C-alpha cells in the first residue's frame, strides 16, 4: 500500500507565489488536504515545486489536482539522493481539469524531488494546484 510521503519534516520550495501572498496562496496549501486552499504561482515560463525528505523514499505515484484553466500540459519529475545532481525520473502529461490526477512513477529511491510544470494552459504561465501528493514507501 502506497502512503503519502510528505510529512511535517519535508522541506518544500516553490518557484513563485501569486503577488507574493504566501498567506493566501503559499506552498503550505499544497499539502493541507483542504479543498478550499491552493498554491497559486505567479506568471512565468515554467513553475516548479521541490521537496526534500527527511529520509530516503521509494516513489511510486504522483497525484496532482489542478484548477482547470491553470494547469500544465507537460510535467517533469526529477529526483536525487544525497548530494547527487537531479536526474529525470519521468515526464507526465496532465489534463486541463479539476480532477485529482494520478501519474505512475517508475520505482526511484530519492530524498529530493523536483516537479516542473511546463507548457501551462494559462496565457501568463500561472499554475494553481489544490493537492500535491507523493506516494510510495519510506526506506528503512
Q: Would you mind telling me the total number of residues written for the chain in this entry?
A: 140
In the Cβ-directed half-sphere of 30, how many Cα atoms lie within 13 Å?
31
User: Minimal CA–CA distance to 119: which of 72, 77, 70?
Assistant: 72
- CATH of 11-138, picked from 3.40.630.190, 3.40.50.410, 3.40.50.300, 2.60.120.260, is 2.60.120.260
Instruction: Sketch the domain layout of the chain as residue ranges.
Output: 11-138
Q: Where are the alpha helices (DSSP H) in 7-136?
A: 22-25
Cell of 77: 519529475
Asked if 122 contacts 42 with a C-beta cutoff of 8 angstroms, the reply is no
Q: Locate cell 530519492: which residue? A: 110
pLDDT in 10s for each residue of the chain, 140 residues: 566 899 999 999 999 999 998 988 899 999 998 999 999 999 998 999 999 999 999 999 999 999 999 999 999 999 999 999 999 999 999 999 999 999 999 999 999 999 999 999 999 999 999 999 999 999 87
The reported pTM is 0.93
Backbone dihedral region for residue 19 (phi beyond 0: left; psi -120 to 50: alpha; all else: beta): left
Asked if 2 contacts 134 with a C-beta cutoff of 8 angstroms, the reply is no
Q: In angstroms, rounded to a whole number, what is the distance separating the alpha carbons of residues 36 and 23?
A: 13
Asked if 30 contacts 49 with a C-beta cutoff of 8 angstroms, the reply is yes
Q: In angstroms, rounded to a whole number, what is the distance separating the alpha carbons of residues 63 and 61?
A: 7
Amino acid at each position: 500500500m502506497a502512503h503519502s510521503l510528505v510529512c511535517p519534516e519535508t522541506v518544500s520550495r516553490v518557484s513563485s507565489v501569486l503577488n507574493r501572498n504566501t498567506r493566501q496562496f503559499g506552498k503550505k496549501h499544497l499539502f493541507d488536504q483542504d479543498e478550499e486552499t491552493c498554491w497559486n504561482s505567479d506568471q512565468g515560463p515554467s513553475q516548479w515545486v521541490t521537496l526534500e525528505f527527511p529520509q530516503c523514499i521509494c516513489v511510486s505515484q504522483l497525484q496532482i489536482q489542478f484548477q482547470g484553466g491553470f494547469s500544465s500540459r507537460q510535467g517533469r519529475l526529477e529526483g536525487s539522493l544525497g548530494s547527487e545532481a537531479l536526474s529525470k525520473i519521468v515526464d507526465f502529461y496532465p489534463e486541463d481539469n479539476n480532477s485529482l490526477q494520478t501519474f505512475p512513477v517508475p520505482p526511484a529511491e530519492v530524498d529530493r524531488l523536483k516537479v516542473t510544470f511546463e507548457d501551462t494552459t494559462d496565457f501568463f504561465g500561472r499554475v494553481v494546484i489544490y493537492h500535491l501528493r507523493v506516494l510510495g514507501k519510506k526506506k528503512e
